[in-house]
Amino acid sequence: MDSEIKDKIPAGAAEILERLRDAGYEAYVVGGCVRDCLLGRTPADWDITTSARPQQIKELFKHTVDTGIKHGTVTVLHRHKGVITPYEVTTYRIDGEYEDGRHPKQVSFTSELSEDLRRRDFTINAMAYAPGEGLVDLYGGVKDLEDKVIRCVGDPEERFSEDALRMMRAIRFSAQLGAEIEKTTWKAVCKMADNIAMVSAERIRVELEKLILSPEPGRFRLFYESGLTRHFLPEWEGCVNTTQENPHHCYNVSDHLLKAVESVDRRETAEDYPEDTERVFRLLRLTMLLHDIAKPLTKTVDEDGIAHFKGHPELGAQMAEEILRRLKYDNDTIRGVSHLIYHHEERFPADRRSVRRALNRIGEEYFPMFFHIQRADMRAQSTFMRKDKEQRLKELRELWEQTLADRHCVSLKTLAVKGADLMAAGMKPGPEIGRTLGRMLEDVLDEPSHNDKEYLLKRYLP
């Protein structure tokens, strides 16, 4: 077990531990990085915990930043071959109650490692390690990691009343690790769920997002079952109660949404977006989570007992925008998700002209994402007409690839005539320029060979 961690500790972290220890302090790597090593994963960052006080840490290292000095955190900048890596070094501390931010209201420092480990949320996150000394596991973290159990350190209700975000973290870790939440911990989540109302949208977003990107995003249902969604995504409640009496469907709306999230595959995303995999994967998974969010509000049942959801993509796009804004998402994400939801149901004939028009509506950048979305949606439906649906997506894709290969113009970006050309030909600046370019583009979408400056000017200029 020792080597699992020792061999992975980067030179920078090892050096920081050594310098602190040589100066007579205690020092360990701690928390997520220890957990990840024991799981055989490579940690993204390495946190260090020490008996040294912030001032003492700063005296030992030349390059430091006072990132969270009030809470005992000093960032040590380690430089190796010109590359600077930051390490958060935090003094052993006991946390008071958490405020609505990232940090506890007040902390007090302690000289006991055991106290510092006790303030941490779950047993699997409460282990420390130092080379030469080995693993410090005071709360049964190794066993819980082996058994795949998420268990609070200490009394769950008390821990969740200190910081309500921990309830979301419990569920998020269960989705990341495929772990079960221990019974009293789970009961406390259900009992204390309303406390999540006190937590900031930014902190909630981080946990929601980590769950959505995890290998088991279907565990989102635990957010609902515990009563947490009522506070951060009240729109979800209606989805749970909305059935879909329609041969294309076999799940209620909420189950369909989660199946669709699971159906977005990271490897498939990487094939189309090798350079931008994580951004697109996140966009696709968020889109699937919310793509049918307006179904409860648009449901009608016809005289044959078939359910319809007319207008749900348009209303859904609007609702997703509000939801993501409320969760303090950035504008790019909001725009992307809302745009994809707006178009998610589009069914157009599989011919070259229709594909050019769809490319123009949906946008060249978004078009491949549109395939991923329709495929994920299909996988979360009944198998009714599955072969036909797969065949159609395949054909659309081939048509799209041909359009790319032929470099057909589908937007003003590649239209042979620009606004400047129209002004050079005598048109006055003003809205008529845009209208004329629009007419030219319409023509070119119908007939790609018309993307010729001479032809277009002759045909469309008075």
Contacting residues toward Mg ion, per CB under 5 A: 32
Residue nearest to ligand ATP (CB): 32
State in angstroms the smallest separation of the CB of 408 from ligand ATP.
45
Find which of ligand ATP, Mg ion, none residue 323 binds, CB within 5 to 8 Å per kind.
none
Give the residue with the Cβ less far from ligand ATP, 31 or 54.
31
Find which of ligand ATP, Mg ion, none residue 229 binds, CB within 5 to 8 Å per kind.
none
Give the residue with the Cβ less far from ligand ATP, 48 or 441.
48
State in angstroms the smallest separation of the CB of 96 from ligand ATP.
12
Contacts of 35 (CB under 8 A, 6+ apart): 124, 125, 127, 141, 145
Rounded distance between C-alpha atoms, residue 448 and residue 444, angstroms: 5
Q: Scanning the structure block, which residue is given the tokens 């912030």? A: 54
State in angstroms the smallest separation of the CB of 43 from Mg ion.
7
Q: Scanning the structure block, which residue is given the tokens 């049964």? A: 140
Find which of Mg ion, ligand ATP, none residue 166 binds, CB within 5 to 8 Å per kind.
ligand ATP
Give the residue with the Cβ less far from Mg ion, 120 or 159.
120
State in angstroms the smallest separation of the CB of 195 from ligand ATP.
13
Contacts of 445 (CB under 8 A, 6+ apart): 353, 356, 357, 360, 409, 410
State in angstroms the smallest separation of the CB of 442 from ligand ATP.
50
Give the residue with the Cβ less far from ligand ATP, 47 or 137.
47
Give the residue with the Cβ less far from ligand ATP, 97 or 272.
97
One-letter amino acid at 446 equals: D
State in angstroms the smallest separation of the CB of 84 from ligand ATP.
20
**280 in Cβ contact with 269 (< 8 Å):** yes
Give the residue with the Cβ less far from Mg ion, 124 or 260.
124
The encoded tokens of residue 445 equal 């979408």
Q: For the stretch 428-448, what's the b/e string if a residue is b when 16 or more beta carbons lie within 10 angstroms of its beta carbon?
A: eeeeebeebbeebbebbbeeb
Rounded distance between C-alpha atoms, residue 230 and residue 282, angstroms: 23
Query: What is the binding site for ligand ATP (CB under 6 A)?
Result: 31-32, 47, 120-121, 125-126, 163, 165-166, 210
Find which of ligand ATP, Mg ion, none residue 282 binds, CB within 5 to 8 Å per kind.
none
The burial class, CB within 10 Å (0-12 / 13-18 / 19+), for 218 is middle
The encoded tokens of residue 120 equal 């941490």
Residue nearest to Mg ion (CB): 32
**70 in Cβ contact with 83 (< 8 Å):** no
E strand or H helix that includes residue 433: helix 431-446
CB atoms within 10 A of CB 425: 12
Rounded distance between C-alpha atoms, residue 453 and residue 416, angstroms: 5
Helix then strand then coil, % of the chain, to nearest 5: 55, 10, 30
Give the residue with the Cβ less far from ligand ATP, 19 or 210.
210
Give the residue with the Cβ less far from Mg ion, 165 or 239.
165
Find which of Mg ion, ligand ATP, none residue 196 binds, CB within 5 to 8 Å per kind.
none
State in angstroms the smallest separation of the CB of 115 from ligand ATP.
13
State in angstroms the smallest separation of the CB of 47 from ligand ATP.
6
Handedness of CA 88, 332, 344, 252 (dihedral sign): positive
Find which of ligand ATP, Mg ion, none residue 151 binds, CB within 5 to 8 Å per kind.
none
